[in-house]
Amino acid sequence: MRYVALSYVWGSSEEARQSRFERRLTRENLSRLQQPNSLGEISMPQTIKDAMYVTEQVGERYLWVDAFCIVQDDPTDLGHQTARMDLIYSRALFTVLAACGKDSNSGLAGLPSNPRDVYQRQVKVSSSGLHVTPLVTLTEEDTLQYSSWNTRGWTFQERLLSRRSLIFTNKQVYWCCDATTWEEESLLDIPGSTAFARSHSFGCYDEWDDNQAKFSTESFDQYITQFSTRRFTYSSDVLPAFLGIIRRFEHLNNEKIHWGLNASTFDQALVWKYGQDRRDEMYTYALGGSTLSVPYPSWSWLGWTGFIGSYSLSVGKHYVGEVRSLLAFYSLMSDGSVSLIKGTSLRRVNDYGKEDDAVSTTAEKSSYDWIEDTKVTGPIKMTDISVTSQLESLELETSHRDLTPYDTGRIVFRTSHANVSIQVTNRDGTHIETSDGLVKLDLRLSSPFMQESYSLFEEVLKKESDPAKSKVVNFLGRRPVSTSHTISLIVVSRQYGFNEADDEEVKLNVMAVEEKVPGSGVWSRIGLGVMKEEDWMKLDIDWRIVILE
């Protein structure tokens, strides 16, 4: 069946939120709205009415709109449909992108309901008749990149998954597909012309668009970074709003994505960077007629808000092969059983484009003396690791305990662990105390942890005898102020550089973690760092099983 899809925003105001609840498909009005002409009973948002008008004007009969094609208060239907956004948008004849206005009542610019006031003049610049026409889009605010539509979480995959898009901005309309981009004010597709214009030059794509193949391994990390700064009305929607991209990537690349991380390079995918604050909302989905809610993991970028830097697959471009990961990672199921996350590490491609067979670099010669048995055998006994209290936080009803085992969002693995004392300074960063003295540690800690450090900096500075030496003066004057912390570090993978010289020294990716419930064996990520393996061996390390939530 041929149909057109709509991508739009409801708006973030309280009025827009209330309108969203009043104008939607529910279990209560489902049978009524299935009757002919029943949509006339609803005060339809102007953007949806305009999209219906556009659909009719191009000779099509059907328009897919999430608010009226998904039963919004039915978790089963909601989960079923949102898990198939890749099919819904990719199979549409084209998608109407409503990137004009701030909410669903704004309408589509240029239509009778929302006329545009556009005057495009010409200036004669030579006697030979050459004219210059100023752009209609004179400010960045009129482009897709700076639209409200481009800030929302759900619209990100809706654009990527669409094969063809009719984009309405405040000043003009664009047509985009995999083959070309057209706009109202310019005619560049002249027959026989060899001119080429990149699509983002029109202002209808964002600054990250560089014409890489959609859903390629090169693009996936970029998608994560772009998506991470999008906003949600309900933060718990972060995985469903990215699930269409995940499904398409898995299908086209024969890969498996586990909670947003590529399973084939899972040890490297764990080393994503930044993130502002932990996402407190739960991921809710339907299973066997029941609704389950599980926390977003701290080890996944999905579990954090704010800008994310993900480089695992970018590094992978320089490597091939199936070199075993240093550690074995398992997903923890609800019944205590474990399921291996089948991943590999990476091997570098030499200058001739072939995989290096010789073991030549210092990194490849390392014996990894700190590694012991990495195998984890389930079931994990709840009494041994005090997970019972953690499972209670999953908001499971007693009846849900009998369901088919499901993924709790935790991972289990054996690794090297150390409790260390670190010094955080306002001038020199982070150092770690080892048997040979202080060692510089490239460590990025989460914002809540660093805020605690900055608060301690302020306490130290307040004790200055000279009140003229303010906090700003001390920082700009590079007066060293430091605080000490005891934290736990665990090894997650070997660190790979972007060129061969970077790998002459063996370095390890270490994760800073904290145990929310002392003695539980359940840890949360609070930061990530890199240190030399020889420095790691100087610490008081132990080999243990870790459950990372």
CB 439 within 8 A of CB 535: yes
Looking at the DSSP bridge assignments, the partners of residue 496 are none
pLDDT of residue 313: 56
Phi and psi at residue 339, in whole multiples of 5°?
Answer: -130, 125
Give Cβ neighbours of residue 522 (< 8 Å, ≥ 6 apart).
385, 386, 387, 390, 410, 515, 516, 547, 548, 549
Strands (E) in 14-69, as ranges, are 63-64
pLDDT at residue 462, rounded to an integer: 53
pLDDT of residue 39: 84
Strand, coil or helix: 520: coil
Query: What pLDDT score was predicted for residue 491?
Result: 96
pLDDT for position 449:
65
Backbone φ and ψ of 355, nearest 5°: -75, 130
Residue 399 has what pLDDT? 47
The Cα 124–Cα 128 span in angstroms is 9
Predicted pLDDT of residue 168: 94
Quote the pLDDT of residue 120.
64
Any bridge partners for residue 433, and if so which? Answer: 438
Q: What is the pTM of this model?
A: 0.83
Q: What's residue 450's pLDDT?
A: 64
**Res 502: pLDDT:** 59
* Separation CA 25–CA 64 (nearest Å): 13
One-character DSSP codes across 132-194: E---S--SGGGSGGGSSGGGBHHHHHHHHH-SEEEEE-SS-EEEEESS-EEESS-----TT--
Query: What residue ranges do the domains of the chain occupy?
Result: 4-119+134-211, 245-548
> Mean pLDDT, consecutive 10-residue segments, the chain of 549 residues?
95 72 84 87 90 96 94 87 92 96 91 80 74 60 81 94 93 85 68 49 52 81 93 93 95 94 92 91 82 93 92 57 77 92 61 40 58 88 48 45 82 95 72 80 76 55 48 43 79 78 79 88 92 90 94
The per-residue pLDDT for 445 is: 79
> Measuring CA to CA, which residue among 408, 237, 235, 208 is closest to residue 310?
208
Q: Which two tokens stand for residue 501?
A: 């010289």
Helix axis angle, 240-253 to 217-228, nearest 10°: 170
Cβ–Cβ under 8 Å, residues 69 and 25:
yes
> Tokens 């994990």 map to which residue?
380
Q: What is the dihedral of CA 394, 397, 402, 405, to 10 degrees?
A: -20
